[in-house]
Structure 1
């Protein structure tokens, strides 16, 4: 299977900018300049939402001068949070053209057009020169990529020596198969989880030293259970939420991810690595 083609098929959405423009208006945000918290339910496309982004950022030495590449930038929530909070510049890369256009639209609405940029590109062939960045950032990206060595090797290439690689991903926790669909894949053929040991081994081979490794699984389970309880209490789904972008199947996909975590089939890890 062509990973890039399958990823694009899973995430691509027609008229996404117009859909978001309408949802913002109906939510009462109109032409208001948006903040990271205004969009947190919509554009943080990973377990634990904005909280996971905040925690990952706090584990890193980010300043106004930091040059960041967000690999698999999605709707741009993490990149805009970094730019808004730390004043750094962030370049996002994503396979989905509709997500690139939506992220650019939301950056303009957030007043961050001068700090964040987005372009379509492949994580296995990043459109940047070597040593271009101080920090590479990925949240829930590698699960869609079968060639983990190529992903980590290309990330290492665009980082300067001593630069950091920040990761928040789902990994395999046992040999038991996942319940599908999950947020990143409708079928097993487009999901590529690795174990913690496998991930550590590939990172080391591709030029990284792991400086921090945190299991976030229990926090993730609690977060999903809280979201499920909120949905049951609400008579109507929120207008600015990932389900409005990803469609009706997304609710079951998130329930399945929580179930996979609870049953020990998958786990959540936060890792900080340094280019050696």
Structure 2
């Protein structure tokens, strides 16, 4: 199994674990909406709030076909399908994530507008110019060949379509503290610098680039989340469902990484002309 996929693969039965946690909390799965699952399937810094910013930047309509590269448990894809009414294909390296994403879409009534397939974000096998927009959310940190990732986004995107990448970047404060939610150590972690991305995206043919640095908001989000958990207790199901007992240390390291400027969160918005 690929090292990255192995990191995200838990002891198995992820769908059953999420289902049991929801049942134990008395959550009615027949009435679930995507927002109800955000604590587990919006697996990125600033969660659903960041996803809504991405959706606005994508500028899609109900007729749009969108590709989510590195779709994980499918939270952003479902939120996009619900908010914009479009159809979304998610591609992810981890089979267990794709299986769980399909189940969560079924629970939220969005199976008809979302589908998930196991695959490589740098070589999806999808036809050229077959989608109206592409997004990738906290994925590039696990991919050493970023030129291939951005080239694939360019290839599948129709002319005039948008590519939005929201990623964790290497900051100026020093090496990342590990473990973090995307890697146990540096062997599967490849965060780019801001200068790297500014160079690589245009090199792939993606232009009209804008960027939004949300690093300060990200630190505030973590602090708010920690205070809320201390006050109210954790949600019924969280990222610990697949990251295990080490998640608490990962979250603590993320706060330190942001506070010490070892990482930055930045959203890039590009078009293919």
The residue aligned with 2:252 is 255
RMSD (CA atoms): 1.3
The residue aligned with 2:35 is 37
Distance 2:245 2:24 in 1: 19
Distance 1:31 1:228 in 2: 26
The residue aligned with 1:194 is 192
Cα contact 1:210–1:271 (8 A) shared by 2: no
**Are 2:2 and 1:5 aligned?**
yes
Distance 2:29 2:175 in 1: 46
The residue aligned with 2:74 is 76
Per-residue Cα deviation, 1:210-250 (whole angstroms, up to 9, x for no partner): 4320010000000001112223334x533221122311111
Cα contact 1:91–1:118 (8 A) shared by 2: yes
SS of equivalent to 2:159: strand
Pairwise mapping of residues 101-112 of structure 1 onto structure 2 (< 5 A)? Answer: 101-112=99-110
Aligned length: 272
Per-residue Cα deviation, 1:132-190 (whole angstroms, up to 9, x for no partner): 10110111000000001011111111111111111110111226111100110000111
TM-superposed CA distance for 1:114, in Å, is 0.6
Consecutive unaligned residues of structure 1, counting only runs of 5 or more, are none
TM-superposed CA distance for 1:86, in Å, is 0.9
Pairwise mapping of residues 117-132 of structure 1 onto structure 2 (< 5 A)? Answer: 117-132=115-130
The residue aligned with 1:150 is 148
SS of equivalent to 2:58: coil
Distance 1:225 1:110 in 2: 29
Distance 1:190 1:106 in 2: 27
Distance 2:261 2:121 in 1: 29
The residue aligned with 2:87 is 89
Once the two structures are overlaid, the 10-residue window that deviates more, 203-212 or 78-87, is: 203-212
TM-superposed CA distance for 1:31, in Å, is 3.4
Distance 1:46 1:150 in 2: 22
Distance 1:212 1:34 in 2: 35
Distance 2:236 2:29 in 1: 16
TM-score by length of 2: 0.96
The residue aligned with 2:164 is 166
Q: Which runs of 4+ in 1 moved over 3 A?
A: none
Distance 1:89 1:244 in 2: 27
Once the two structures are overlaid, the 10-residue window that deviates more, 255-264 or 79-88, is: 255-264
